[in-house]
Amino acid sequence: MRTANRAVRLTVQISLLLALLSGSVFVMLRSYLSDDERIYNEGRINQVVSQGGPVTVADVEWKLDSLESYTRLTDDEGEEISLDAPAGSVIIVATVTVTPGEAVYLKNGGFTCNASLRDDRGNSWPSANAFDFALPTSCSDDEHPFTRGKDGKIAQVFVVPGTAVPHLTGIIVEDLAERNRVLIKP
C-alpha cells in the first residue's frame, strides 16, 4: 500500500513539474515570437488591396489613381525639377486621392500623410520632395489645404534604380499606432 502511494505521489510531482516547465517555456517564448513590434519593424504587410483601393488607414482614405514611371519631371513652366536621381535611376510618380476622416487632426488644413514604394524583393523607398510639381507632393501644402470628408489629390514621387521597375508591387501606407501596414496595388 505504501509503495503504491509513493508511486502515485511521484507521478503527480513529475507531471506537475512538467506542466510548470512547459508553462514557463511557453510564456518565455511567446512574448518574443508574437512580438508585434518586432514583426512590424521587420516589414510585415498586414493587408493587401488591389485595383488601387480605396482603403482607410488611420482614418484617412487612400485611393491609388496611377503609378507611372518617368526619366525626368518638369514643372508647369517646362523647367526640369531637380531630384537626387543618379544615372540609371527612374522616377516613379504615384497619384493618390486622399480623404481625411473625422478623427484626423488638421493643422492649417494640413496633416502628415506618407506613402512608400514597395517591390517584391522586400525593398521599400521613401517619398521624395519634388518642388513645383503640378500636384502637391504632401498633405500639408499651404496652397492646397484639406478639409475633413473632402477628397484631395496629391502625388508621391519616388526615385528607384531602373532595375527595380519590373519588381514594383505598389505603395505602402503605414499606421504606426496600430502597427498596420497596407499595400495598395495599382
Which residues of the chain form contacts with other proteins (CB under 8 A)? Answer: 13, 17, 20-21, 24, 28, 32, 84, 86-89, 121-126, 159-164
Instruction: Say whether the peptide bond before residue 54 is cis (omega within 30 degrees of 0).
Output: yes
State which residue, 124 or 138, has the beta carbon closest to other proteins.
Answer: 124
State which residue, 19 or 48, has the beta carbon closest to other proteins.
Answer: 19
Q: How far is the CB of 40 from other proteins (least distance, A)?
A: 13
State which residue, 126 or 149, has the beta carbon closest to other proteins.
Answer: 126
Instruction: Yes or no: say if 169 and 120 are a contact pair by the CB < 8 Å rule.
Output: yes
Q: How far is the CB of 182 from other proteins (least distance, A)?
A: 19
Please give the single-letter amino acid code of residue 29.
L
Question: Residue 135 class from Cβ within 10 Å (0-12 exposed, 13-18 middle, 19+ buried)?
Answer: middle
Q: How far is the CB of 88 from other proteins (least distance, A)?
A: 4
Q: How far is the CB of 164 from other proteins (least distance, A)?
A: 5
State which residue, 95 or 125, has the beta carbon closest to other proteins.
Answer: 125
